[in-house]
Structure 1
Amino acid sequence: MIESKINGWIRKEILNQSLYTVNNLNTPIKLNQNESPIDWPKDIKKQFLLYLHDCVWNRYPEINGENLRKKLARKFHLSKNQIIIGKGSNEVIQAITTATLSSGDIVCHLSPTFALYSLLSQHRGAKIIQSKLDYEFNVVLDDLINKSAMAKLTFIANPNSPTGKLLPIEIVKKVAEQTSGLVIVDEAYIDFSGGSAIPLIEQFENIIITRTFSKAWSLASFRLGYGIMHNSLALEIQKCMLPFNIDSPSALAGHFLLDHMDHIKKTISAIVDEREKLAIKLNALHGVKAWSSRTNFFMLETPLSPSVTFRKLAENGILVRDISSYPLCEKVIRVTVGTAKENKRLYKIITNLL
């Protein structure tokens, strides 16, 4: 039986982990994965398909997303040699952990935060130390600085997930000053908040910034992200990417969106506006708290338990994320901001549950 041989074939770091899964309930309204609720307009899709029609399909794509790196470099006034492209920022993070971590190395991250930092680090046999947030989900600065000083890698999601809170750049700066390791600033949601750490790249050789096209840029289906860092770091981490990892349609989509910044800005503005309006309405309900957020999602408390709230919403056609198993999140669910129509439906169901 193959089951008896698995232990000899697969590393213990993998055997000891659970498979990363998401809830795939089929509901009309999907507010569980922090995707953009706004798809590309049909006229922009048609323009993009013309680009794709002229793309050569029988040849490998350009190596390392070369032209997209150049375009991003112009946007941020950087060198293309400071940028690497991945299938989503997750692949960039995976390449970073592959390039840097050996068994027993220490990795520091906030708690609660995005689960992938721990998962990918443990793949490499790293030891995880967590800097726990306080009960208002704020960073305990001395604790973070002390623990990051021991770490080879420190992950800071900014804004953080699942809390939605934005850290002042001064905190990132202080951490980078106090550690000899690398500081990875995951800016997946930075388009909703501002306050990027990109200006620190020139000052700190140990800062890496990761970003994605999946959230504000409405491109989750294509899988496209990138990392920004010192060019010497980029050269080494690129070695841990597979050759030709960025397919031509994804690279073209990135190019195309960078030429449609007006649409992106309108999308971001609409989502932020909906977030604020929905939070105000929910916070006016007795026993309900929508936590302040600088992202396209927020944590939500109701008088019901998270599991009951999750189930009742699902029964009414709305899928959210039950994060009550996360540290400090025992009372909350996480809700992605939807369209105006979806948010109106969510508010109505929450009101009926009270």
Structure 2
Amino acid sequence: MKTLANLTAIENQLHQLLETDKPIKLNCNESPFDLPQTLKDTITSKMAELSWNRYPDFQQTDLVELLAHSVGLKNENILLGNGSSQLIQQIINCCSKFVSEVIIENPTFTLYHQICQNERLNYKEWHLNENGSFCIENFPTVSEPSIVIITSPNNPTGAVLPKNELETLLQTYPECIFLVDEAYGEFANESSIELIHKYSNLLVLKTFSKGFGLPSMRFGYVAGSKILIDLLRKHTIPFTINVFSELIVRESLTNNSFSRIIKTNQERIKNLRDFSCYELSEIADKTTFSVNTSQSNFLLLRFNDTSLLNEIKEIFAAKNITVSFPITDCIRITIGTEVEMSKVLKIIKQCVNSFKVSCQEAILNTLSVY
């Protein structure tokens, strides 16, 4: 009886949480799971022991070595940055001096277009399939040398470019520099970083903002051949990584408790993503919407009826649920906590059911006229 009472109390608590309108932020592809306070306390106590009055190590030698070892590369293959956005700026700025154009898939992270425009660098778009997947047959004509930027998993579709297709492109265009942005790579089934051993024209961009759940820290790195990394290093400003970020990165890679928390959160997000995708696929059809299979920490819903989309938008806004709208007639939903995703799924299901009833009533009313 005590167990039954406990279960009832938990169910009531969950119901109350689902009914409240506490703000739910599902628009920035952040992890919904913060670090435990005890771990934060341990790390901040180590921060207090650092010399705050001294510059960081300019070369970040120890941290580079640690990261290189973690991905099976050498120190010469790694360049650190203040988040992947800073590295994107640095890479395009550096390459704009000698490339003729940039190839960017469509849709993708809009920062690439912005930086190309700032650099007055022409770009062509590689259009993805209607379902958001990559199609190598659609790859545009390239004037070598060029930069080819590939976000894999793609934002906002969640699709991944298969490694064998990436190799085909690398071999076909050896004079092009390929930048593979794996910002969401920890949620995918494979990484292209091992191809750096085979292809000198490949750069792979990584960040701790998504899979590691540490966007506030602003840390990323790019991996590539020695010749490319040496070139990029000439365009590096001093001291891009502060001592506090360095400490947290080192802890995340060497502290077993920290590492377990990160892996657990990644698996938790992937399970929630797959469950949510399944639930949405069960109610989706040609009259309502479709949902992309995703290897990232978000789902993209493409709506076939504007009125249904607008209704869901209005209810989300009324319930303080923030999502993003990166493409016309689409909603991108970052994977949140179990409670948050339950609330989102409940709203979408209710809206779809109401929409289908309205459609049936409209059909019956039309038939009754005749």
TM-score range, shorter chain: 0.7 to 0.9
Residue of structure 2 equivalent to 1:12: none
Distance in 1 (CA, whole Å) between partners of 2:348 and 2:133 is 27
The number of residues matched between the two structures is 323
Say whether 1:50 aligns with 2:45. Answer: yes
Describe the SS at the equivalent of 1:63. coil
Residue of structure 1 equivalent to 2:278: 280
TM-score (norm: length of structure 2):
0.83
Residue of structure 1 equivalent to 2:192: 197
Tell me, yes or no, if the aligned pair for 1:107 and 1:151 is still in contact at 8 Å.
no
Residue of structure 2 equivalent to 1:169: 163
Quote the offset at 1:91 in angstroms: 1.1
Distance in 1 (CA, whole Å) between partners of 2:248 and 2:240 is 15
Distance in 1 (CA, whole Å) between partners of 2:143 and 2:164 is 16
Distance in 2 (CA, whole Å) between partners of 1:311 and 1:226 is 39
**Inter-CA distance 265–282: structure 2 relative to 1 (3 Å threshold):** same
Q: What residue identity is the alignment partner of 1:254?
A: V
Describe the SS at the equivalent of 2:237. coil
Q: Pick from 310, 313, 317: which aligns with 1:310?
A: 313
Say whether 1:68 aligns with 2:70. Answer: no
Quote the offset at 1:28 in angstroms: 1.0
Distance in 1 (CA, whole Å) between partners of 2:145 and 2:138 is 13
Q: What residue identity is the alignment partner of 2:147?
A: L
Greater Cα shift, 148-157 or 92-101 = 148-157
Tell me, yes or no, if the aligned pair for 2:27 and 2:334 is still in contact at 8 Å.
yes
Describe the SS at the equivalent of 1:204. coil
Of all paired residues, the percent bearing the same amino acid is 29
Tell me, yes or no, if the aligned pair for 2:133 and 2:157 is still in contact at 8 Å.
no
Residue of structure 2 equivalent to 1:291: 292
Residue of structure 2 equivalent to 1:87: 82
Quote the offset at 1:299 in angstroms: 0.3
Describe the SS at the equivalent of 1:221. helix
Quote the offset at 1:142 in angstroms: 2.9
Tell me, yes or no, if the aligned pair for 1:289 and 1:301 is still in contact at 8 Å.
yes
Greater Cα shift, 288-297 or 124-133 = 288-297
Tell me, yes or no, if the aligned pair for 1:109 and 1:155 is still in contact at 8 Å.
yes
**Contiguous gaps of at least 5 residues in structure 2:** 1-20, 353-370
After superposition, where does 1:183-194 map in structure 2 within 5 Å?
Answer: 183-194=178-189
Q: What residue identity is the alignment partner of 1:284?
A: E
Distance in 2 (CA, whole Å) between partners of 1:44 and 1:91 is 28
Tell me, yes or no, if the aligned pair for 2:102 and 2:148 is still in contact at 8 Å.
yes
Tell me, yes or no, if the aligned pair for 2:128 and 2:138 is still in contact at 8 Å.
no
Residue of structure 1 equivalent to 2:322: 319
Say whether 1:225 aligns with 2:247. Answer: no
Say whether 1:334 aligns with 2:332. Answer: yes
After superposition, where does 1:1-354 map in structure 2 within 5 Å?
Answer: 28-102=23-97, 105-144=100-139, 146-148=140-142, 150=144, 152-179=146-173, 180-259=175-254, 260-285=258-283, 287-302=288-303, 303=305, 304=307, 306=309, 308-324=311-327, 330-354=328-352
Tell me, yes or no, if the aligned pair for 1:282 and 1:288 is still in contact at 8 Å.
no
Quote the offset at 1:152 in angstroms: 1.2
Tell me, yes or no, if the aligned pair for 1:102 and 1:126 is still in contact at 8 Å.
no
Distance in 2 (CA, whole Å) between partners of 1:129 and 1:288 is 29
Quote the offset at 1:241 in angstroms: 2.0
**Inter-CA distance 264–128: structure 2 relative to 1 (3 Å threshold):** same
Quote the offset at 1:232 in angstroms: 2.0
Tell me, yes or no, if the aligned pair for 1:305 and 1:331 is still in contact at 8 Å.
no
Query: More helix by proportion, 1 or 2?
Result: 2
- RMSD over equivalenced CA pairs, Å: 1.9
Q: What residue identity is the alignment partner of 2:159?
A: K
Tell me, yes or no, if the aligned pair for 1:296 and 1:337 is still in contact at 8 Å.
yes
Residue of structure 2 equivalent to 1:23: none
Distance in 1 (CA, whole Å) between partners of 2:201 and 2:222 is 13
Distance in 2 (CA, whole Å) between partners of 1:349 and 1:88 is 35
Q: What residue identity is the alignment partner of 2:156?
A: P
**Contiguous gaps of at least 5 residues in structure 1:** 1-25, 325-329
